[in-house]
Each structure stands twice: as structure tokens, then as C-alpha cells.
Structure 1
Amino acid sequence: MAMHPVVERVTERIRRRSAPTRADYLARMEAQRLEGPARRHLSCGNLAHAFAAAGDDKPALRAQRAVNLGIVTAYNDMLSAHQPLQHYPELIKMAARARGATAQVAGGVPAMCDGVTQGRAGMELSLFSRDTIALATAVALSHAVFDAALLLGVCDKIVPGLLIGALSFGHLPVIFVPAGPMPSGLPNPEKARVRQAYAEGKASREELLAAEAASYHAPGTCTFYGTANSNQMLMEVMGLHLPGTAFVNPNTPLRDALTVAAAERACAITALGDAYTPLAHTVDEKAIVNAMVGLAATGGSTNHAIHLVAIARAAGLRIDWDDLDELSRATPLLARIYPNGPADVNHFHAAGGIGFVIRELLDAGLLHADIRCVHGGDLRAQAQEPWLDGQQLRWREPPARPADTAILRGVAEPFDREGGLRRLAGNLGRAIVKISAVKPEHRRIAAPARIFDSQDALLEAFEAGALAGDFVAVIRGQGPRANGMPELHKLTPTLGVLQDRGQRVALLTDGRMSGASGKVLAAIHVVPEAADGGPIARLREGDLVLIDAEAGTMEAKVDAAAWKARAPEAGPLAGNRAGTGRELFGLMRANAGNAEQGACSLFVGEAWDS
């Protein structure tokens, strides 16, 4: 199948734009490869420390001949998605021993739950937890006694952080090992209905808690299609999972078999064997383009408009929102998963899942098949689903047609002719908007600005009955340099209530929305942010604001001379410098790039393309 011309054009543009930085990255990774397994160069004291507590694995480690796998885990038992990871290290060690290899837990990384911190002070640490995880991954692998790495993580910032950190050790093969989604609970539309009822005072706190507990009810990833499940899709289309690993439920024989198989495969693809598959050559410009196409085709999380930029940069690649916008406009929307529809990821998986999506996009020339997947084949071989034939793990083709066309469709009959994400630009800067869950009649608004410096200020105005008529809610001072760029998901029920009442409303912010951004038009991640004197800081109460997602524009309809003469008003930043650990993240706030640069604090001193 010939490649789609837009995919070819964008891929080539990224390759040319990235040539110097990619060449530098690959040279650094090659230098690390040529050193060979680092434990061969360790002093006796270094080596003794490395295997002092290794028990039965000590002889193999001491001999320095067998493969040694490094495990980096984001396990904790507070995150439902990560609680199943508790027993993975023992499974991996057993699988390694059966292959004559060894495995060690190289380190743990922090893993916070955005669901717990939504609307709280802790959410101001959320985005920077990604950079912290990248640093912790680097610390874990810096012992340099490993031939490959298995990365155990699932949720929002954890997978991007693990990948960014591992890319500094790109001479190593790396396989991601997820946990899978929890079983389906309370249907997502019913959960959303109770949330809106509570926002209107029509449901009690007890009723709200009962609905939430029935939705988030068991070990495993939350079942809506937010950032965590978008992460899993990305790992599939980038070839960093064993095929079909993403959405197998935890604590099942199939899930355990996949974890064992990941360990076995990691043993097979090190530089000590004949199937060497280093991470640096898996994550290239084609894999990054695949990630952007997969995100668009499934209506994935807006957070990846930030994360993918940072991941690419860690691999020496430079992408921007124009790349994402162009690919999204060329990619049909193939999935309706909440918040883009009523189904959850379990329903999506049962309907044909990610294997079906990959095959459809490959057949349409929208994905690059010729990437180096960790399983040894190309991306065509990734489009399979795992199953157990007795005790034997096998793979088979996904169904020829989806089991439920209300959830999943082929390229010939998509839900929409283009994907869910777009770039907006105008005299207010640049932003990202997710339209896959927004009805066409709500994708354009021209209304007065209502200016707020926090989401709580808007909620107070709602409770006071002060949000009448049509308006664009402008919430600024929420960018990475201001307060860490928290998600503003707390606004979703309230803005949904106003829209359902017949008001035309939208959100404009330099902050983020949840990966489950829903039915209200939201221009988010605005750059430059208000704290950097961005145009959003020039808006005044009552200014006419136009947001047109179809045209890709956002404008303040203000006389050009008056607009240019206005001084920016960044707004107060009270409350985001101390408390809940925020005082420890000042260095990251001060050094963060803007959202289109990945909002990343890890590449200080390196030039970014404009």
C-alpha cells in the first residue's frame, strides 16, 4: 500500500527539520553501544555491589555472560492501574531464569493519580511528575549493568516519563509492560450525568460518591479513553508493546502470559544475540508520526499534544502542532470511546480493538509499517490479538469487521472524515482543541470574554448565578511557568450544565484539560502563556472572542492598534509557590518550555525551533 501523501510529507518534513539533532542523538547512543555491556568494565567493588543481594542469581551475574534485564517499575497500590504491577518483577525474574538470564529491579519511579489530585493543589505537580519520572528512570538505568529494560507503567505522565528517561539509554532494547483496564463498571454517560446533577445541586455528595465508586471500582486502568489508555494505544502503534498487550484485563492468565512473554522477548533482543533491537532505532520519525496518526484516529488525549513533543525531543526529533494538525485532518476517526461516545475501552477491545485500527490505518497508507517493533516483525505483525490456546500464548488476526460499528469502524465508513485534534492560531497565540467529542454546532463561538484567574473563581461565579448568556471563559495563569499547568477538569460538569441550558460557552486557557476532555469547546495549552506575557494576558472582560475549530482560528476581535498597545495582565499567582510540595518544583517552573515545546524542563540550554 502506497503511503498517504500527507503522512509522507509530514514524515519527511520532520526528518529534515530534525537531521542535526537526530544525528547527534544517534551518535551518542552508538557510542554507548560500542562500550558493550557496562558490567564488563566495572571494578570488582562496583560489580560486587551490583549482585550482593541477588541470591540465586548471583552466580550468573558474577559470571558476566548472561543477559541481565533491568526492571523500572511505577508500582504503587494507591493507583488502581498500577496495583497489578506488584507481582510483575517475580514473574519477570522467573521468565528470565528459564532463559538462563537474570533480572533486577533497577528502580522505582513516582506515580501520582490525576484522578485523586484533580482540582487540588497536587495537580500543580502533575505535569512535572513526568519530568521527575524521566529523571528517576535515568537514575535507575545509570547503574549500567543491564542489557535491556522492561518498563512497568500505565498512567498519564508515567509512560511518557519512562520513555523520555529510557531514550537517554537508547542503545538498550526497551519493552513496555502494562497492566490493562479494570472491568467495566458504571457506564460513563451515567457517571457524567450524576456529575452534572451534582454541579446543579440536584444530586447529593453521597449519590456522587456512589456513582464514582461504581465507575472506579477495581484494580486496573480507568476505562474511559483518557491519557492513560491513549498511552497504551501509542505504545502499540510505536511498536513498544508485544502485539495486543494494551487492553487485556489485569490478574488474568492471559495478562500473566503476556508479562512472561515480554521478559522472554527482552532476553532475545539484546546486543548479546542476533536480534538486537535498540530503543533508539525503534523510536524514529516514523514511529512518532504513527503515534500522532493513532492519536487522531482514536480521538485520544489532548495531553499527548504536549507529551509527544517531549518524547520526540528526547529522541533527537522535532515536531510541532502543525504536524499534528496536518496529520489529524488527513486521518479518519475510527473509534467512539468515552468521552467521544458511550463505550469504554473494554467495549472497544471486544469490538476489534487496537489490532483492527492498526490494520485499517496500514491498509489506508496512514501508518508506517516499516518500523522496528520489539516483537521482531513490522507494524503489520503488531495488528494481532493475543489469546491462550490452553497454556500456550498465541496471536491471531483481528476480526475482519468490527463487532459493534457504534464503537469501531473501518476507514471506508469512519465516524468522521478527520481525527479529533486541531491546532488553533491567531492573535491570541496558538492552542490545541479536541473536537471529536464536540458536536459540529458547538465548534464555533463568537462571544464576550469572562476573565478568571482560577477554575475555582469560575465555579464561584456559577454558584452565585453570575454566568448568564453566551461567553468564552478565559482562565489564565495556568501554564507550566505559572503553576505547573494543572488540568482544569473540574470545570467540565459546570460548563456542560450551561451548554445544556442553551447557552453558548467555550473555554480558553493556557492550562490543560483532562485527557477525557468532553463536549464543550475548549481551546487549551495556549502559547505563549500569560505568565510569559502571552496575548491571552491582554484580554479584558467583555472583549469579543472568536474560536473557530473548523477554520483553526482563535481571535480577539479588538482594534489592532488598541490590542497592540495593551499591557499584559498575568493575573495573581497566589497559592502556587508553596504547599503540597510545590516549593520543591520552582526550578522546573522556571525552566519549562512552553506547551508546544512539550512543557518540558529537561532540555535547559538547548535551542528550540520556533
Structure 2
Amino acid sequence: MPTLNPVVAEVTARIVERSKTTRADYLRRMDAAGSSGAGRAKLSCANWAHAFAGAPVKDKLNAMSGTQPNVGVVTAYNDMLSAHQPFERFPQIIRDAVREVNATAQVAGATPAMCDGVTQGRPGMDLSLFSRDVIAMSTAVALTHDAFDAVICLGVCDKIVPGLFMGSLAFGHLPVVFAPAGPMPSGIPNFEKARVRAEYAQGKVDRATLLESEIGSYHSPGTCTFYGTANSNQMMMELIGLHLPSTAFVHPETGLRDALTAAAGKQAVELARSGQGRMADIVSEKGIVNAIVALLATGGSTNHAIHLVAMARSAGILIDWTDMDQLSSVTPLLARVYPNGSADVNAFQAAGGVAFVARELAGAGCIHADVVTVMGQGIHHYFQEPMLIDGELVWKDGVTESLDTDILRPASDPFDREGGLRLVQGDLGRAVIKISAVKPENRIVEAPAAVFETQEDALQAFQDGKLDRDVVVVLRFQGPRANGMPELHSLSPALSVLQDKGFKVAFVTDGRMSGASGKTPAAIHVSPEALAGGPLAHVRDGDVIRLDAEAGVLTTVGVPDLSARPAAVRTPAHATGAGWGYGRELFGAFRQAVSTAETGASICFVAPAAANGHADAPPDPNLVDRTVDA
């Protein structure tokens, strides 16, 4: 393999050094858990009888031998998420497959799985990010029966895969395989969907027309076909080595998908028998860097500027936005998939897909080739693609040349010499911006601010024509402490309309913009957030703001000292609405305890006090003081 890019090597070394204490503590716990033996050996006869009381006779007999692996399946199945509807059948496929190799499989438990596409712009979106940590906890509850020798996780979408990942790492002494469901077939073209949305935002088409368009886009079982957070999850699971190779974008309800699901079950059994492929070893500093680079090289979701931090921290690995920014500077942009192009993930897969991306990144020295995966040692396994020949699953080398260079390009001739994510910072704090879909002429905006507290107020101002000008739309009190950090994608069509009119437009928020961040420059996840005393709380209407994605700048212009001003206070109606109703009142403790956006916006990493009064683990330097008033 070619020499590793020196920046990739430098960032990796920095992460290793920064994580030395927390990583060592994590591995110590995993070693201790693994050294205590297989789950079945630790359970009493009564425990073991309970675990298999409802199982078929054959499985009971197999389990009673005490020598064969038992695979725990954690599923995020529900049938209102198109991406998760196929999981209804997967547990039985896995059970049947592992019986063929004299093992057993059980559904250990289930996790919630909410759809951001349903809750966009609705109160339920305030629970979206917090659902990730609930999923992590649910995964831990499922696996804490300690009756399993390996794990299979069934999940695809936005918070679900990060949550399954975080929860599984608490049991990282076991091998863990992720089995996706795949994307739905292509519907109407993405540019047509975007056009109708923009026309609806301007009142040019009615709701019936909009609904017809949306149904044409989201129409069958499988993942939504744009390259948002769900499909970014799948790309990362491939390059971190937790999928079987090239399984991300195979359609559900096909023979190939069923064969891959069965193979995932058998691979989990093989790993359990061999004692190889612990999740704790796969999710290493090198593996996390590979996941970041894969995300950047394909223009993936901005949500992972938050999720990846929390996911890595679950393995004791500390990363930040500076790491991502520096890796982005040397990562070639290889893919143009909507919203960074007009193609969908099905076209991406047809052009060469994940196998092509993995081969190109490895060949360019952009990722670590010497990693452990569920397939064994080395990233080269992920240069392959699966296929069915006479009903048998076989693997072949993926294409070495893109079959459509408008969608997928080699590292020697990328769409851009750097990846799609940048860090911007200044007197307004630190934020991330996804530039892969933003044209170069739109990446620098300097204009007066229009400040809002809610999406509804911003959209009303747009409809009233008050934003028909050069403007930086500031939406504050949207951070994790304020209201759970909802996605604000409902503003995308309006901002696009203003930009299309020829105005210089940008968006600045301490909230999220989602994996569908589009052509308007958006500095998102601004940290520290307004409610925690961040600078956005001091911005006023009319302040000139400069967002320069090229230079990495997010600052006011002509404001001598923002902090000298009194901080804005949320209106009572907004403060009450952000905390109550639609289940939000149940998550008050989350809002009090959550860490900052750059530290993962998580509640999962507060070290408990031990009996002697000292923390069980050393303080985490990547977490911040959380004593700000609610």
C-alpha cells in the first residue's frame, strides 16, 4: 500500500496521544469482561434456563450443551420507518443461518427508532438527538443479560446506528456485526423534488402537488435514497469494518440482501468461535480516522460532526472538529450524491460504490490499511462486492474505474482536492460547515444579521418578504441544552429561494441542519450554544456577520466586544415550548446534563463517583463544565 498521507498520520498520532488515558481505561474494562469467559459459562443453570425457556427444542438442546455460540440480535425494527421495515424478517433469517453452523441466535432486545423525516419542523424533533443516547442505553439493557458470544445490530437511520454503536461498545469484548437493510429503489429525481419544495415555499404550488412529489420520492421499503445521515452511517460502518463488504447499498427484499443477512449471522458465529474481531479492537483510533475520511470523501452528513465524537468516546477515543477539519484538508472529494449532486445512492452504487471508494482512499494513502475488521486483518476486504451465483453468495473484486465520473471519481481526479466539511471560528464561537454542495462563489457571505428564536418566526419573516436582501439568518437557542438540538431542515427551501434571487445568504445556528445540508452556506452546531452563554446570545438584528468558509472564519464585523452586551433571554413562550409537550418534559434531565455539540452532545460519559469518593475513570478533558443554569 502507498505511504500514509502525513496529515492523516499526524492527526491519528494526536488522537492516540490525547486519548491515552481514556482509551487505556476502556480497553482495561473490555479485557476484564472478556477474561471472565463466555456468557453461558457464567450463568447459573436457572439463569440459563430462563434465557432459553421460550426457544424451540433444537435451540434448547444446543444451548444445554454449553459449548456452542449464542448470538444476540439487537433490532431497531418498526414498520413506520421505510429503512427499518425490512428488519421484521431479519431475525428469522439469522436464526436459520446460525442453526446451519450449529449455533443459536436470539433477539436480545429492541431499541426505539424515530424518523427525522416525519418529525422535521415538529415538536418531536426536539427528542431526535437525545434518542441516540436512549438507543445506546437500550442496547446496553438488551446485552446486559450477558448470555451472548457475539452480537448483530440491525439499524440504518440517523440516530439509530450511532446509538447501537455506542451501546455495543459497552460490550466491546464481543464481536459485533452490523447488518443494514439497504436503500429503496429510486423514485422521482432529487432535483425535481427540490424544485417542487422551493415552489411550495413560495406559494407557487399547492400542498397536494407537494405531497404527490414527496410520495414519489419516499415510496417503498428501504432507506431514503439521498446521501443524508442514514446513508452516511452505512458508508462509515463499511470503512470502519463492522459490515460485511459492500452490503450498505443492496436493496431490501432481494435474494442478495437475504443472503448477506444470513452471512452476517454466520460471520458473527465464526468470530465468536475464533476469539477474533472484538468490537473494541475494530473501533480503534485508526478505524475512527478511516470513518471520518470516508465521510469527508463522499460529502456525508454534518450530523456526524456530533455523532462521531460521541461514538469514538464510547471506545475511549477523543476526537474534535479540528481533527475533522485537518483531515478534510487532505481528503479528496470522490462522490457527488444528492444533495451534493443530482444522483442518488443507487446511482452511486452502480458507478462503483463503497468498494471503489475504499480502494481509491487506500491507494491514495488517505486511510489506514492495517486495520482489524469483521472480515479479518486489512481494509483490502472492502475492495470486494457480493453477488449471487446459482444461489450461492460469492465475492468479487469491485470495479477499478468509475462507471460514471459525474457521480464517482478516482482520487487522482476528484471533484475537489479536499473533503466536504470545514471548521469555522471567531468571536461567534466554533461551528462546522458543509461546503461540498456550496458553490465557491457562495462560500463567503458578509451581511446584516436577522436574529430569530424559532424556525416558525424565521419562516414567517421569509413569507412576509422581510428577508429579501443580503442577510445572515441567525437562529439561536437551538442547542442541546436549550431544546435537544433539533434539525432545522425546514428552512432549507426558503434559504435556497433567497439565494436563487441573487442575494448573499447564509445561515448561522447552534442547532443542526441535518444530512441534507444543501447549497446555502450554513455554519451549524455553533458552540458554545446561546443558552450556555455562547456568543450567539449577544448578537442583535443588523449586526454584520462574516461567514468565510474558505478562510474558516465566523465573526462579527465592527462589533468591538460582543461579551460586553447583555445576553438575550429566551422568550417565556419559547422556553416553555422547548421543554414541555410531546414527551419533551421527560427529557429535562438530559437537557441539564448534556455535553456540548463538539463533545458529542451526549449524556453517556459522566464518570460516576466510586465508593471511595473518586471517579472510576480519570476526568475527560474533552468534556466541559455543565453548571450553566437551565
TM value normalised by structure 1: 0.99
Match of 1:236 in 2: 238
Q: Which amino acid aligns with 2:416?
A: D
In the TM superposition, 1:101-500 aligns within 5 A as 101-270=103-272, 273-274=273-274, 276-500=276-500
Which range moves more in the overlay, 81-90 or 597-606? 597-606
In 2, Cα distance between equivalents of 1:570 and 1:531: 8
**Matched residue SS, 1:575:** helix
The answer to whether residue 605 in structure 2 is matched with residue 575 in structure 1 is no
Structure-2 change in CA distance of 1:522 and 1:570 (3 Å): farther
The 8 Å contact of residues 597 and 608 in structure 1, kept in 2 or not, is answered as no
Q: Which amino acid aligns with 1:586?
A: G
The answer to whether residue 46 in structure 2 is matched with residue 45 in structure 1 is yes
The answer to whether residue 545 in structure 2 is matched with residue 545 in structure 1 is yes
Q: Which amino acid aligns with 1:53?
A: G
**Matched residue SS, 1:10:** helix
In 2, Cα distance between equivalents of 1:394 and 1:80: 28
What are the superposed Cα offsets for residues 239-266 of structure 1, whole Å, 9 maximum, x if unpaired? 0000000000000000000001000100
Match of 2:87 in 1: 85
The answer to whether residue 620 in structure 2 is matched with residue 607 in structure 1 is yes
In 2, Cα distance between equivalents of 1:115 and 1:152: 20
Q: Which amino acid aligns with 2:98?
A: A
**Matched residue SS, 1:217:** coil
Match of 1:505 in 2: 505
Match of 2:16 in 1: 15
In 1, Cα distance between equivalents of 2:336 and 2:552: 23
The 8 Å contact of residues 88 and 259 in structure 1, kept in 2 or not, is answered as yes
In 1, Cα distance between equivalents of 2:144 and 2:319: 28
The 8 Å contact of residues 298 and 333 in structure 2, kept in 1 or not, is answered as yes
In 1, Cα distance between equivalents of 2:286 and 2:598: 20
In 1, Cα distance between equivalents of 2:451 and 2:430: 18
**Matched residue SS, 2:372:** coil
How far 1:570 sits from its partner (Å)?
A: 4.1
How far 1:607 sits from its partner (Å)?
A: 3.0
The 8 Å contact of residues 535 and 563 in structure 2, kept in 1 or not, is answered as no
The 8 Å contact of residues 533 and 569 in structure 1, kept in 2 or not, is answered as no
What are the superposed Cα offsets for residues 273-314 of structure 1, whole Å, 9 maximum, x if unpaired? 335210000000000000110111000000000000001100
In 1, Cα distance between equivalents of 2:217 and 2:382: 31
Match of 2:55 in 1: 54
Match of 1:28 in 2: 29
In 1, Cα distance between equivalents of 2:290 and 2:330: 13
In 2, Cα distance between equivalents of 1:64 and 1:567: 67
How far 1:398 sits from its partner (Å)?
A: 1.4
The 8 Å contact of residues 543 and 559 in structure 2, kept in 1 or not, is answered as no
Unaligned runs of 5+ in 2: 608-618, 625-630
The 8 Å contact of residues 347 and 407 in structure 1, kept in 2 or not, is answered as yes
Q: Which amino acid aligns with 1:596?
A: E
The 8 Å contact of residues 230 and 295 in structure 1, kept in 2 or not, is answered as yes
The 8 Å contact of residues 128 and 484 in structure 1, kept in 2 or not, is answered as yes
The answer to whether residue 102 in structure 2 is matched with residue 100 in structure 1 is yes
Q: Which amino acid aligns with 2:317?
A: L
In 2, Cα distance between equivalents of 1:230 and 1:48: 41
What are the superposed Cα offsets for residues 36-79 of structure 1, whole Å, 9 maximum, x if unpaired? 11221222221211111012211111221110000000000000
**Matched residue SS, 1:431:** strand
The 8 Å contact of residues 22 and 620 in structure 2, kept in 1 or not, is answered as no
In 2, Cα distance between equivalents of 1:580 and 1:559: 40
The 8 Å contact of residues 22 and 315 in structure 1, kept in 2 or not, is answered as yes
In 2, Cα distance between equivalents of 1:286 and 1:498: 42
**Matched residue SS, 1:419:** coil
In 1, Cα distance between equivalents of 2:72 and 2:598: 32
**Matched residue SS, 1:317:** coil
How far 1:575 sits from its partner (Å)?
A: 0.5
Q: Which amino acid aligns with 1:43?
A: S
In 1, Cα distance between equivalents of 2:258 and 2:63: 26
How far 1:389 sits from its partner (Å)?
A: 1.2
What are the superposed Cα offsets for residues 556-596 of structure 1, whole Å, 9 maximum, x if unpaired? 11332x42311221423230111110011111111110100
Q: Which amino acid aligns with 1:576?
A: A
**Matched residue SS, 1:330:** coil
**Matched residue SS, 2:181:** coil
What are the superposed Cα offsets for residues 131-176 of structure 1, whole Å, 9 maximum, x if unpaired? 0000000000000000000000000000000000000000000000
In 2, Cα distance between equivalents of 1:26 and 1:400: 38
In 2, Cα distance between equivalents of 1:608 and 1:483: 25
In 1, Cα distance between equivalents of 2:370 and 2:34: 23
In 1, Cα distance between equivalents of 2:61 and 2:399: 47
Q: Which amino acid aligns with 1:148?
A: A
In 1, Cα distance between equivalents of 2:380 and 2:40: 36
In 2, Cα distance between equivalents of 1:451 and 1:42: 59
In 1, Cα distance between equivalents of 2:474 and 2:167: 35
Q: Which amino acid aligns with 1:306?
A: I
The 8 Å contact of residues 177 and 259 in structure 1, kept in 2 or not, is answered as yes
In 2, Cα distance between equivalents of 1:310 and 1:559: 35
In 2, Cα distance between equivalents of 1:6 and 1:497: 39
**Matched residue SS, 2:445:** strand
How far 1:468 sits from its partner (Å)?
A: 2.5
Match of 1:565 in 2: 564
In 2, Cα distance between equivalents of 1:351 and 1:570: 51
The 8 Å contact of residues 476 and 571 in structure 1, kept in 2 or not, is answered as no
In 2, Cα distance between equivalents of 1:152 and 1:559: 51
In 1, Cα distance between equivalents of 2:558 and 2:304: 32
The 8 Å contact of residues 51 and 62 in structure 1, kept in 2 or not, is answered as no
How far 1:426 sits from its partner (Å)?
A: 0.5
The 8 Å contact of residues 510 and 525 in structure 2, kept in 1 or not, is answered as yes
Match of 2:611 in 1: none
Question: Identity of aligned pairs, percent?
Answer: 59
Q: Which amino acid aligns with 2:620?
A: A
In 2, Cα distance between equivalents of 1:570 and 1:409: 49
How far 1:384 sits from its partner (Å)?
A: 1.0
In 2, Cα distance between equivalents of 1:540 and 1:558: 13
Q: Which amino acid aligns with 1:120?
A: R
**Matched residue SS, 2:336:** coil
What are the superposed Cα offsets for residues 526-576 of structure 1, whole Å, 9 maximum, x if unpaired? 00000101011110110010000000010011332x423112214232301
What are the superposed Cα offsets for residues 62-118 of structure 1, whole Å, 9 maximum, x if unpaired? 221110000000000000000011100001000111100000000000000000000
Match of 2:628 in 1: none
